[in-house]
A and B are shown apart, each in its own frame.
Chain A
Amino acid sequence: MLGLSIREVSQALRDGRVSATELCRKCINQIQRTRYLNAFITITEETAMEQAQRTDSRLRTGKGKKGIPFSVKDNFCMENIETPCASGMLKGYVPPFNATVVQKLLDQGAVLVGKTNLVEFAMGAGSTDGVFGPVRNPWSYTSLYREQSTEDPDSDWAITGGSSGGSAAAVASLSSFLALGSDTGGSTRNPGSLCGVVALKPTYGLLSRHGLIPLVNSMDVPGIMTRSVHDAATVLRILQGRDERDSTTVQAPSTPPRLPEHFDIRDICVGIPKEYHAPGLSKDTLAQWSRVADMFEQAGARVQEVSLPHTQHSIVCYHVLCCCEVASNMARFDGLEYGHCSKVDSSTDAMYATTRHEVFNSVVRRRILSGNYFLLKSNYERYFVKAQQMRRLIAEDFKNVFRTGIDVLLTPTTLSDAARYSDFIQEDNRTRSAQEDVFTQPVNMAGLPAVTVPTALSHRGLPIGLQLIGQTLQDWKLLTVAQWMEQKKSAFIRSKVQQNSKIWKYFY
Chain B
Amino acid sequence: LGPVMLDFSVPIRRWVMCRQFQCHQLFISWALLSSLPQMVGVVGLEIHAQIQSTSKLFSGSHVRFLAPPNSLVSHFDASLPGTLPVLNRRCVEAAVLTGLALNCTINRKSLFDRKHYFYADMPAGYQITQQRVPIAVNGMLVYSYFEGRRRNQVVTKSVKIKQIQLEQDSGKSLHDDERSQTLIDLNRAGVGLMELVMEPEMCCGEEAAAAVRELQLILQALGTCQANMAEGQLRVDANVSVHRPGEPLGVRTEVKNINSVRHLAKAIDYEIQRQMEVLQSAGKVLNETRAFDSKSGNTIPMRDKEGLQDYRFMPEPNLPPLFVYESEASVPAGVDPAQVVVIDRLSGQLPELPSVKRTRLVETYGILQEHSFTLVNEDGLIDYFENVVQTTKAEPRKVIGWVIKELMGNLNSQNLNVSQSPISPCALAELISLVESGHISSSTAKQVFQEMWKAPEKTVGQIVKEQDLWMINDKEELQKICKRIVDSHPEEVQIIRGGNKKVLNKLMGEVQRETKGRTDPVQIRAILEKMVS
Contacts and interface: CB of A to CB of B under 8 A. Distances in A.
Nearest to B311: A377
A121 to B, nearest CB: 9
A95 B79 contact: no
Contacts of A248: 84, 317-320
Contacts of A97: 75, 80
Nearest to B79: A332
B58 to A, nearest CB: 9
B123 interface: yes
A96 B75 contact: yes
Given A247-B319, A338-B80, A352-B118, A331 B124 contact: yes
B282 to A, nearest CB: 32
B318 A77 contact: no
B312 A376 contact: yes
A325 interface: yes
Given A331-B118, A348-B182, A99 B82 contact: yes
B184 A336 contact: yes
Contact of B313 (A245, A334, A375): A375
Contacts of B114: 328
Given A217-B317, A248-B320, A337-B79, A348 B120 contact: yes
A264 interface: no
Contact of B317 (A90, A96, A245, A325): A325
A208 B165 CA distance: 28
B78 interface: yes
Interface string B331-348: 000000000000000000
Given A349-B118, A375-B313, A247 B86 contact: yes
Contact of A217 (B75, B123, B310, B318): B318
B87 interface: yes
Nearest to B334: A251
A456 B182 CA distance: 61
Contact of B125 (A76, A209, A334, A377): A334
A352 B117 CA distance: 12
Contact of A212 (B82, B116, B126, B184): B82
A10 interface: no
Nearest to B181: A345
A372 B82 contact: no
Nearest to A212: B82
Interface string B292-313: 0000000000000000001111
Nearest to A251: B334
A337 B314 contact: no
A201 interface: no
Interface of B: 75, 78-87, 114, 116, 118, 120, 123-126, 182, 184, 310-314, 317-320
Interface of A: 76-77, 85, 90, 95-97, 99, 209-214, 216-218, 244-248, 324-325, 327-328, 330-334, 336-338, 348-349, 352, 372, 375-377, 380, 384
8 contacts: A213-B81, A244-B86, A327-B116, A331-B126, A337-B79, A372-B312, A377-B310, A380-B312
Given A333-B81, A380-B314, 8 more contacts: A77-B82, A85-B81, A97-B75, A209-B84, A247-B84, A248-B319, A325-B317, A348-B120
8 shortest A-B CB distances, which residue pairs?
A331-B125, A375-B312, A217-B317, A218-B317, A213-B81, A332-B79, A211-B82, A77-B82
